[in-house]
Amino acid sequence: MAVAEDRARELLRVGDVDVLGRMPWSSNATFLVNLSEGDDELLAIYKPQRGERPLWDFPRGTLCHREVAAFEVSEALAWDIVPDTVLRDGPAGIGMMQRFVEHDPEEQYFTLLEEHVDAFVRMAAFDVVINNTDRKGGHCLRALDDGRIFGIDHGISFHAQWKLRTVIWDFAGEPIPADVCRDLRRFAEQLRSGAVGECIGSMLDRFELDALRARTEHLLATGVLPQADEDYHSFPWPMI
């Protein structure tokens, strides 16, 4: 039985963790877990910090923090792109805990695009803001219960250097819709005032936080979604 939204948020943060199994095809340790308290249960994805594969261009042990930061940015923009995500303890230590989205695994960006253009325009802007280096098609999900479009796997985002790598280039060069610009302007103001920076400051270093602010303001200044850089590997591999 589904739990109410407030109760689901509480379970994600304090529920007892029971590991159900390891998720296949993940480069880092990723587990499907059941969270429970009393009679209430919730499925979630758990990525422990100690299971993160070292990368040459991202500080070790920071991927789980970046996943949480991506959720916080999604919340600040009021775009609801990233499922509820927290940093908490689990069976393998501290890590990212994210609400599991029931979805059809056969669906992905390329099959969903035609019917969800508005959602993917926002996701394209979101990926620019967070400097997502790995937006594969399979990182785009449609929730079975209400049809919402979600993005997952944001562990290698927020680098201070420009590293955008994504499959969402269908809107490159197009003007950013007015409602998306409105949300970005509000977010940029929150970053300048420190309201959002204080919230995610513990997840990113000051250079990454400054770069987040600069990317948001540059996107607003240009008013268009960027083109793929021909001198950079702008598409992830594999693409799905």
* Distance between first and last Cα of the chain: 32
Distance, in Å, from the CA atom of 158 to the CA atom of 175, rounded to the nearest integer, reads: 23
- Please state the pTM of the whole predicted model: 0.96
Cis peptide bond N-terminal to 105, omega within 30: no
Q: What is the pLDDT of residue 3?
A: 87
pLDDT along the chain (240 residues), means of 10: 89 98 91 97 98 95 97 97 98 98 97 98 98 98 97 98 97 98 96 82 94 98 95 91
Tokens standing for residue 31: 């587990």
Phi, psi of 80 (to 5 degrees): 55, 40
How far, in Å, CA of 65 to CA of 53, rounded? 14
Q: How far is CA 11 from the centre of its chain?
A: 20
Going along 68-123, which residue ranges are E strands?
85-88, 95-99
Neighbour count for residue 218 (Cβ, 10 Å): 13
What is the reported pLDDT for 27? 84
Position 232 scores a pLDDT of 87
pLDDT at residue 26, rounded to an integer: 85
Q: What are the Cα distances from residue 66, in Å, to 29, 35, 90, 121, 154?
A: 16, 22, 18, 22, 7
Q: pLDDT at position 1, please?
A: 63
Tokens of 176: 């950013």
What pLDDT is attached to residue 25?
Answer: 82
pLDDT for res 230: 84
CA dist 34 and 16 (Å) reads 8
Alpha-carbon distance of 211 to 226, in angstroms, equals 16
CA 235-137-212 angle, to 5 degrees, is 65
